[in-house]
């Protein structure tokens, strides 16, 4: 059998990417909308994974960062209509990131459960502010978002928005993939596994945690900006405590400490949400039960199962080839 | 007028204290954080409602049956959710109880719908005049019930053998085990008592805020109260709860009324940023 080389893999990847980017030509408008939403949730889920999966600090308030990004984008796009989306979106990400950084400085000195409570409170306060500060956010009437544009081309349909959302999502996912394999990403994991060991190895604990939090908020804020463009009308209840818990469910089900897991989780939860859109009770019940079941039986989520299966197959192969070699030797 | 507001604040605060107390009980014995504490109270409330409205049982009988149910609920949660994950990090148990909270909420929604139901109060609906102070019997009833419950818990922990063994477990699992205390049974017991407290809380909360599936969110006020008083401290849970209740009721007098909804969260963030150990908390050295 010929070996599958890196070259073959790159061809396969390129083909998949091309198929994905051409998919709006054949898919329905609704499915394209779902793909956009999925990319956004995948970004938030990756962001949350930086903090929770990689660095081991739980956040129950990520909908707050999504809200910051979304309202920032909506408000800036209205007040400064001359700014193009590719300026506003990174600004939205950085704004959320900055807030995350400032919030992280005091709360990340605390232990795990306090962080959960502080972030929960943060998320709720943000959605309350969005509800009450009517002058800025229009309260529960919601905020109509000005469509994104390049020159005279306006992204005013789901299929056009696909080409706005997906390139950003792909770039950010690749960036996340690189970040976690660099020194910074490995420092996050070291902090999660043992703070004392990490500190002994010369990792600055509070700096690592705070930068993980800021990075995470950046991803959520950027995703929030994309969300504003995709749904085009944002209301405070898109950013409630339930949404923050949905994000946790995504990374628990998909797999903590894994970029692929974040995407799998986002796909599964968005899928369930769309399939059971008319039965919110059943949907919540499934989310709750799967949180419990995954945490008890598969704490590393689906990607954990995949990677342990892969390891097992590889080990099995090695074992059988060693046996063959042994038999030949005898 | 202000004194009336303070008294009803203390009554609200007592409810928060009960939530905080339930959380602290479990935390002290097992070091687990139970996010579903409020939803346990909510479910007990709905069970009581079913006994009362559908089966037309008399209120005292309903009270006793519901408390039995809440104890059973606490035991079931411990057996089904916490025991299987006991070897994992505490983080996992927190996520599991978060899941349990969602499950209880949506399952109750399926059975009883998300409507609000009026809930019978244990106390007569009339005004009381105590010297210059005028207040309603409901508030006094809530405060009295909470005080009695706290006294019972205090005596239980201080003077009974089982209570002493629970305190031993909360200090060191290993030392307690060596002294012949069954740590497993103590875990179950802590959950059972916590269930009981949540059941009593249900009877006090539901008449005030109406019975609905959203009632479980009171757990967040419980967390705010427990953290404000000093996480892991019983007197702290009580003091934190009462101060939070008073603060919440008095603040709308001086600030715009929208502030009431934000207070528990502002308190949470404020206390955690300024003094994470709370009012009564002592600084704990972390073990390696």
B268 with A284: Cβ contact below 8 A:
no
> Which of A94-98, A191-195, A273-277 is predicted most confidently?
A94-98
Nearest-angstrom CA–CA distance, A324 and A266: 43
Please spell the DSSP secondary structure of A221-234, one letter per residue: HHHHHHHHHHHSEE
% chain A with pLDDT above 90: 15
**Domain covering A34-299: architecture:** Orthogonal Bundle (1.10)
Whether B223 and A58 lie within 8 Å, measured CB to CB: no
Q: Are the C-beta atoms of A170 and A42 separated by less than 8 Å? A: no
pLDDT of A318 above 80: no
Question: Is the per-residue pLDDT at B286 higher than 70?
Answer: no
pTM of the model: 0.85
Beta strands (DSSP E) in A135-193 are 143-144, 149-150, 153-154
CA-based torsion, A104, A110, A116, A117: positive or negative: negative
Retrieve residue A251's tokens.
């990374």
- pLDDT in the model for residue A327: 59
What is the complex's ipTM, to 2 decimals?
Answer: 0.82
Write down the pLDDT at residue A115. 86
Q: Show Cβ contacts of residue B130 under 8 Å, excluding neighbours closer than 6 positions.
A: none
Shortest Cα–Cα distance, B87 to chain A (Å): 10
Q: Does B232 touch chain A (CB under 8 A)?
A: no
Beta bridge partners of A124: none
Q: What is the pLDDT of residue B17?
A: 92
Return the minimum-mean-pLDDT range out of A219-233, B64-78, B267-281: B267-281
Residue A330 has a pLDDT of 47
Alpha carbon of A291: minimum distance to chain B alpha carbons (Å) = 5
pLDDT band with cut points at 50, 70 and 90 for residue A328: low
In the predicted structure, residue B255 carries a pLDDT above the cut 60: yes
Q: Cα–Cα distances in Å, from A316 out to A312, A329, B82?
A: 6, 20, 35
Residue B162 CA to residue B145 CA, distance in Å, equals 23
CB contact under 8 A, A281 and B106: yes
Q: Regarding predicted confidence, which is higher, A254 or A9? A: A254
Greater confidence, A81 or B101? B101
Alpha helices by DSSP H, listed for chain B, are 2-30, 37-49, 59-77, 90-112, 137-159, 161-171, 173-178, 183-209, 218-229, 234-254, 259-274
The nearest CA of chain B is from the CA of A51 a distance in Å of 13
Look-up of token digits 């007569």 = B124
A113, A269, A289, best to mutate vs chain B, most B CBs in 10 Å: A113
Q: Is A8 helix (H, G, I), strand (E, B) or coil?
A: helix
Tell me what pLDDT residue B229 has.
86
Q: Which of B33, B220, B286 sits opposite A113 (nearest CB)?
A: B33
Chain B, residues 6-65, CB within 8 A of chain A, namely 33
CA B217 to CA B265: how far, in whole Å? 12
Q: Report phi then psi at B161, rounded to 5.
A: -65, -45
Average pLDDT over residues B120-134: 74
The answer to whether the Cβ–Cβ distance between B99 and A285 falls below 8 Å is no
pLDDT of residue B29: 83
Q: From residue B142, how far is each of A138, B2, B154, B205 by CA, in Å?
A: 40, 19, 18, 9
For residue B89, the Cα-to-chain-centroid distance in whole angstroms is 24
Picking from A179-183, B6-10, B248-252, B253-257, which range would have the lowest pLDDT averaged per residue?
B253-257
CB contact under 8 A, B272 and A292: no
Tell if the CB–CB gap between B273 and A107 is shorter than 8 Å: yes
Tokens of B191: 């959950």
Say yes or no: B113 contacts chain A, CB-CB below 8 A: no
pLDDT of A4: 67
Rounded-to-integer distance, Cα B40 and Cα B215, Å? 10
Residue B285 has pLDDT above 60, yes or no: no
In chain A, the N- to C-terminal Cα span, in Å, equals 26
Report pLDDT for A3: 65
Chain B environment of A248 (Cβ under 8 Å): 95, 98
Sign of the CA dihedral with A18 first, then A21, A22, and A28 last: positive
Residue of chain B whose Cα is closest to the Cα of A283: B106
Query: Which band of pLDDT confidence, cut at 50, 70 and 90, is reported for residue A64?
Result: very high
| Residue B213's pLDDT band (cuts 50, 70, 90) | confident
User: Mean pLDDT throughout A8-21?
Assistant: 81
DSSP state of B81: I
Note whether B51 and B68 are within 8 A (CB): no
Nearest to B92 among A107, A120, A299 (CB): A299
Structure tokens at A256: 């903590």
Every domain of chain B and the residues it spans:
2-224
Tell me which of B102, B112, B222 to substitute to probe the interface with A (most A C-beta atoms closer than 10 Å): B102
- Give the CA distances from residue A294 to residues A258, B81, B86, in Å, rounded to whole numbers and listed in that order: 15, 12, 14
Over 90: is that where the pLDDT of A302 sits? Answer: no
Q: Provide the mean pLDDT of chain B.
A: 85
Q: Which residues of A touch B (CB under 8 A)?
A: 56, 58, 60, 106-107, 109-114, 116-118, 120-122, 124-125, 128, 132, 196, 245, 248-249, 252, 280-282, 284-285, 287-292, 295-296, 299
The C-alpha atoms of residue A282 and residue B219 are separated, in whole angstroms, by 23
Sort out which chain B residues have CB atoms less than 8 A from A112's CB and list them: 90-91, 94
- The mean pLDDT of B79-105, rounded to a whole number, is 87
Centre a 10 Å sphere on the Cβ of residue A149 and count the other Cβ atoms it contains. Answer: 15
Average pLDDT over residues B43-62: 87
Q: Quick check: B288 pLDDT over 50?
A: no
Task: With beta carbons less than 8 A apart as the criterion, state whether B200 and B145 touch.
Answer: yes
pLDDT, average across residues A220-243: 88
Candidates B37, B223, B227, B265, partner chain A, best to mutate (most A CBs within 10 A): B265
> Choosing among B79, B97, B106, which should be mutated to test the A contact, i.e. which has the most A CBs within 10 A?
B106
- Give the distance from residue B160's alpha carbon to the nearest chain A alpha carbon, in angstroms: 31
Separation CA A188–CA A212 (nearest Å): 7
C-beta atoms of A281 and B100 within 8 A: no
Give the pair of three-digit tokens for residue A178. 């690189």
Using the Cβ of B81 and the Cβ atoms of chain A, whether some distance falls under 8 Å is answered with yes
Distance from CA of B63 to the nearest CA of A (A): 28
Chain A closest-CA separation from residue B106 CA (Å):
5
**Residues of chain B neighbouring A295 (CB-CB closer than 8 A):** 85, 88, 92, 95-96, 99
Measured between CA atoms, how close is A130 to chain B, in angstroms?
12
- Between CA A187 and CA A108, with CA A263 as vertex, the angle to 5 degrees is 35
CB neighbour class for A139 (10 Å; exposed up to 12, middle 13-18, buried from 19): middle
Give yes or no for B76 touching A (CB within 8 A). Answer: no
Q: What is the mean pLDDT of residues B56-69?
A: 88
Q: How many CB contacts within 8 angstroms connect chain A with chain B?
A: 114
């Amino acid at each position: 059998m010929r070996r599958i080389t890196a070259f073959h893999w790159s061809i396969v990847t390129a083909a998949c990417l091309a198929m994905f980017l051409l998919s709006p030509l054949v898919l329905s408008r609704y499915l394209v909308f779902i793909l956009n939403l999925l990319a956004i949730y995948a970004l938030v889920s990756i962001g949350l994974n930086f903090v929770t999966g990689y660095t081991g600090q739980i956040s129950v308030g990520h909908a707050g960062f999504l809200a910051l990004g979304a309202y920032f984008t909506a408000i800036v796009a209205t007040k400064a209509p001359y700014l193009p989306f590719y300026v506003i979106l990174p600004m939205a990400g950085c704004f959320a990131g900055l807030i995350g950084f400032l919030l992280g400085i005091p709360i990340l000195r605390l232990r795990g459960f306090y962080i959960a409570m502080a972030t929960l409170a943060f998320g709720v306060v943000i959605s309350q502010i969005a509800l009450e500060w009517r002058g800025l956010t229009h309260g529960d009437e919601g905020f109509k978002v000005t469509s994104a544009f390049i020159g005279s081309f306006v992204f005013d349909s789901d299929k056009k928005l696909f080409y706005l959302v997906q390139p950003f999502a792909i770039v950010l996912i690749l960036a996340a993939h690189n970040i976690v394999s660099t020194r910074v990403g490995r420092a996050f994991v070291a902090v999660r596994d043992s703070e004392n060991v990490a500190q002994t190895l010369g990792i600055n604990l509070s700096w690592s945690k705070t930068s993980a939090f800021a990075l995470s908020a950046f991803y959520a804020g950027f995703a929030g900006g994309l969300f504003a463009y995709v749904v085009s009308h944002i209301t405070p209840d898109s950013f409630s405590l339930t949404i923050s818990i949905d994000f946790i469910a995504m990374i628990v089900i998909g797999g903590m400490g894994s970029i692929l897991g974040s995407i799998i989780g986002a796909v599964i939860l968005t899928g369930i949400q769309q399939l059971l859109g008319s039965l919110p009770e059943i949907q919540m019940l499934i989310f709750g039960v799967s949180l419990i079941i995954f945490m008890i039986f598969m704490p590393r989520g689906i990607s954990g199962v995949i990677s342990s299966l892969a390891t097992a197959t590889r080990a099995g192969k090695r074992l059988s080839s060693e046996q063959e070699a042994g038999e030949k030797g005898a | 007028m202000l004194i009336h507001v303070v008294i009803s604040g203390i009554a609200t605060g007592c409810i928060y204290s009960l939530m905080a107390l339930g959380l602290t009980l479990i935390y002290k014995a097992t070091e687990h954080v139970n996010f579903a504490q409020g939803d346990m109270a909510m479910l007990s409330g709905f069970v009581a409602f079913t006994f009362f409205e559908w089966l037309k049982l008399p209120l005292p009988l309903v009270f006793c049956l519901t408390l039995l149910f809440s104890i059973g609920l606490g035991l079931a949660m411990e057996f089904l959710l916490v025991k299987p994950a006991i070897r994992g990090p505490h983080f996992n148990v927190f996520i599991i109880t978060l899941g349990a909270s969602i499950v209880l909420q949506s399952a109750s929604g399926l059975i009883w719908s998300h409507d609000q139901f009026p809930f019978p109060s244990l106390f007569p609906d009339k005004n009381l005049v105590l010297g210059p102070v005028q207040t309603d019997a409901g508030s006094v009833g809530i405060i009295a019930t909470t005080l009695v419950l706290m006294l019972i818990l205090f005596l239980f922990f201080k003077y009974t053998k089982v209570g002493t063994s629970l305190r031993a477990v909360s200090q060191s699992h290993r030392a307690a085990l060596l002294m012949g205390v069954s740590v497993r049974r103590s875990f179950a017991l802590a959950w059972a008592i916590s269930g009981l407290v949540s059941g009593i809380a249900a009877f006090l909360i539901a008449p005030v805020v109406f019975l609905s599936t959203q009632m479980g969110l009171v757990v967040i006020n419980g967390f705010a109260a427990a953290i404000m008083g000093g996480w892991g401290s019983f007197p702290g849970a009580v003091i934190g709860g009462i101060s939070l209740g008073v603060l919440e009721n008095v603040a709308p007098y001086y600030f715009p009324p929208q502030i009431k909804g934000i207070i528990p969260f502002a308190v949470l963030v404020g206390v955690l940023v300024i003094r994470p150990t709370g009012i009564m908390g002592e600084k704990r050295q972390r073990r390696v």
